[in-house]
């Protein structure tokens, strides 16, 4: 269930419902399909869908598709997947702003007829000069006083494709001296001779974001149009259109602070550059802060939703410590992920008091507290443990290690006592000899000499090989966006390493996207696309708690 929020947006909605100002809350999540969604969008999704769920309302998914050149179907499909994966359901069908192009065109004509919009032939450069600055009023365009008839004719010819891109635009006639730059006769339609992924070649003029957004909200009966703070200055324009058009409802815009995470870039443009330059393998590379990248990395939907709940919703932009995201992830996996065993740096242990072909199937529970069932682990005469768990000589510091004469417990298995070891030509320990202490499955040794350490292990003969993809942070700077130079200069080029590991056989057969804690190694997930029983692939999701000694 979605956590109940008490943020200021939820409070506004609660008050509006209590006062009867709205009967039912309707929100929307309005991505532009010009890239994959990132963790910042997750905040907006959790907020918009979350408050609708909390107050018994609805949330629409609307593609804000007014820039055909930058948009495509791949992005639309990915965005739908992301929202669904996070566990939210949009109301009814998917909406597209382009569904309303006929109505928006009609409303543009309405403004022209009312003398509130005109066709302007200034070049972009001239328009910039006429627009003025924050401290200096703009000047009226020489085309501002065209008659209604002339404007109707020119706008019809814009639509018919008679003019080149950039030759003219349709502008709202508001106030060139307004202190709010957005009210200085903003563009509402521009010529783009581009094929549109939804409307094909029907249009060669496209409405701007500002002319589209509020009216789409009105058509859909959105009660609370929630967006990020950078649109605060656009609100007077949003309201101007709503007041000057015969729209069927009166939506209101509310702004909240966008999510910024350290060590992360949250801009589709920059994420696209990482993909286009081959810095990562794609939008869903496990190092990407995209929702699909996080999914592939092994985040669970619950961990992302819990994170969004943890950071809350405020009226100011802030920088969130990426450690908070990691905490939400680790906390969820610690509570819920099954445990399993993988050995990354193997050291063979021969248990000399077992027969050559000994193989006992041990039942090992998947979780210490939750009832997640258990799997069978083959226990054989030769096993593999991690090199770091064996020391040639006993010392107090190594009392939890396997050392000659010292005992350890194999996780979910028996107690062993080391009797000797062999070295290879380079002087590294290559093999350990040991004896099994009888009757120690789930029990202490009868002689009361209890092992201090517990180690993970796999059968040498029955384990499978797996590829482990070990990821580090993608950026070396906490603020790659803001530090000197291009953000690309702060990319960690060694953020992926691939190693081979020996995994217990049950792990090979798990479904893609299964999360695990590999005991004493970290949290791993079976890769969404590349994992197969014959060639298992696991991605490092995140390490175990830093303060937990291995
Ligand atoms: P970008 O700058 O990455 O392209 P955008 O805001 O242009 O992002 P949209 O597709 O227009 O991307 O965003 C859809 C919704 O998600 C908008 O309401 C937007 O305000 C919100 N959103 C985008 N980025 C963030 C963020 N970092 N934190 C919170 N909400 C965000
Ligand atoms: Mg946008
Ligand atoms: Mg954008």
> Tell me: the pLDDT tens digits for 74-126?
999 999 999 999 999 999 999 999 999 999 999 999 999 999 999 999 999 99
Of 80, 144, 192, 258, the catalytic one is 258
What is the spatial distance between Cα 132 and Cα 138, in angstroms, rounded to a whole number?
4
Question: What pLDDT is recorded for position 271?
Answer: 97
Nearest-atom number in ligand 1 for the CA of 37 is 10
Q: What is the ipTM score, two decimals?
A: 0.97
Which of 161-170, 225-234, 311-320 is least confident? 311-320
**What is the chain's mean pLDDT, rounded?**
96
Look up 32 and say whether it is catalytic. Answer: yes
User: Where do runs of H (alpha helix) occur along 277-421?
Assistant: 291-297, 301-311, 322-336
DSSP secondary structure letters along 244-313: HS--SS--EEEEEPPEEETT----HHHHHHHHHTTSSSSTT-TTS-BHHHHHHHT--HHHHHHHHHHH--
> Tell me: the pLDDT tens digits for 270-302?
999 999 999 999 999 999 999 999 999 999 999
Distances (CA, A) of 418 to 253, 350, 355, 505: 70, 9, 17, 25
Predicted structure pTM score: 0.95
Look up 360 and say whether it is catalytic. Answer: no
Tokens in use for 297?
A: 């990395």
Say if residues 159 and 204 touch (Cβ distance below 8 Å). yes
**Residue 18 neighbours by CB under 8 Å, 6+ apart:** none
Distance 77 CA to ligand 3 centre (A): 18
Q: What residue ranges in 12-125 does DSSP mark as E strands?
A: 26-29, 58-63, 95-96, 117-120
> Reduced to 3 states, what is the DSSP secondary structure of residue 332?
helix
What residues pack around ion ligand 2 (CB closer than 5 A)?
32
228 within ligand 1 shell (Cβ under 6 A): yes
DSSP secondary structure letters along 87-109: T---SSS-EEGGGGHHHHHHHHH
For ligand 1, mutation pick of 30, 31, 320 (most atoms within 8 Å of CB):
31
Q: Among residues 205, 196, 201, 110, which one has the least CA distance to residue 165?
A: 205
> Tell me: the pLDDT tens digits for 456-491?
999 999 999 999 999 999 999 999 987 667 999 999
Distance 331 CA to ligand 3 centre (A): 32
Question: What pLDDT is recorded for position 57?
Answer: 98
What is the spatial distance between Cα 366 and Cα 377, in angstroms, rounded to a whole number?
11
Task: List, in order of start, the domains of the chain with CATH numbers.
Answer: 101-208 (3.90.800.10), 262-336+464-503+509-550 (1.10.1160.10), 341-462 (2.40.240.10)
Looking only at Cα atoms, what is the longest distance across the chain? 104
Say if residues 299 and 274 touch (Cβ distance below 8 Å). no
């Amino acid at each position: 269930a979605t956590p109940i929020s008490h943020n200021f947006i939820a409070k506004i909605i609660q008050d509006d419902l209590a006062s009867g100002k709205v009967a039912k809350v309707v929100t929307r999540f309005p991505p532009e399909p010009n890239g994959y969604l990132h963790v910042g969008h997750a905040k907006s999704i959790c907020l918009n869908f979350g408050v609708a769920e909390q107050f018994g309302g609805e949330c629409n998914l609307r593609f804000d598709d007014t820039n055909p050149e930058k948009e495509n179907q791949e992005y639309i499909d990915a965005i739908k997947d992301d929202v669904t994966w996070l566990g939210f359901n949009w109301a009814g069908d998917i909406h597209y702003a382009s569904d309303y192009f006929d109505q928006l065109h009609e409303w543009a004509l309405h403004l022209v007829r009312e003398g509130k919009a005109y066709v302007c032939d200034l070049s972009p450069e001239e328009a910039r000069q006429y627009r003025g600055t924050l401290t200096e009023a703009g000047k009226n365009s020489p085309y501002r006083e065209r008659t209604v008839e002339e404007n109707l004719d020119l706008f019809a010819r814009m639509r018919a494709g008679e003019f080149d891109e950039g030759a003219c635009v349709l502008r709202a006639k508001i106030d060139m001296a307004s202190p709010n730059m957005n009210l200085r006769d903003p563009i509402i339609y521009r010529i783009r001779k581009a094929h549109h992924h939804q409307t094909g070649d029907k249009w060669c003029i496209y409405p701007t974001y500002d002319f589209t957004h509020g009216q789409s909200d009105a058509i859909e009966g959105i009660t609370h149009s929630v967006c990020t703070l950078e649109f605060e200055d656009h609100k007077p324009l949003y309201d101007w259109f709503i007041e000057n058009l015969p729209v069927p409802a009166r939506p209101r815009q509310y702004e909240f602070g966008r999510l910024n995470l350290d060590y992360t870039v949250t801009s589709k443009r920059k994420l696209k550059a990482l993909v286009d330059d081959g810095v990562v393998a794609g939008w869903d590379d496990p190092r990407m802060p995209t929702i699909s990248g996080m999914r592939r990395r092994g985040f669970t939907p619950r961990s992302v939703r819990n994170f969004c709940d943890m950071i809350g919703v405020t009226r100011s932009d802030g920088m969130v410590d990426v450690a908070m995201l990691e905490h939400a992830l680790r906390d969820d996996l610690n509570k819920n992920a099954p445990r399993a065993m993988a050995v990354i740096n193997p050291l063979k242990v021969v248990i000399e008091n077992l027969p050559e072909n000994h193989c006992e199937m041990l039942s090992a529970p998947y979780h210490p507290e939750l009832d997640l069932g258990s799997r069978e682990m083959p226990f054989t005469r030769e096993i593999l443990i991690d090199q770091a768990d064996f020391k040639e000589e006993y010392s107090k510091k190594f009392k939890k290690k396997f050392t000659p004469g010292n005992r350890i417990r194999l996780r979910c298995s028996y107690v062993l006592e080391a009797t000797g070891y062999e070295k290879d030509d380079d002087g590294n320990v290559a093999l350990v000899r040991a004896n099994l202490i009888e009757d120690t499955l789930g029990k202490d040794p009868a002689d009361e000499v209890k092992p201090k350490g517990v180690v993970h292990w796999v059968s040498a003969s029955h384990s499978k090989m797996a590829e482990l993809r070990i990821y580090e942070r993608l950026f070396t700077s906490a603020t790659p966006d803001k530090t000197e130079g291009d953000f690309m200069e702060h990319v960690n080029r060694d953020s992926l390493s691939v190693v081979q590991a020996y995994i217990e056989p049950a792990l090979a057969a798990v479904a893609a996207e299964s999360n695990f804690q590999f005991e004493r190694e970290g949290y791993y997930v079976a890769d969404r696309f590349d994992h197969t029983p014959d060639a298992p692939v696991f991605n490092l999701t995140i390490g175990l708690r830093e303060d937990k000694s291995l």
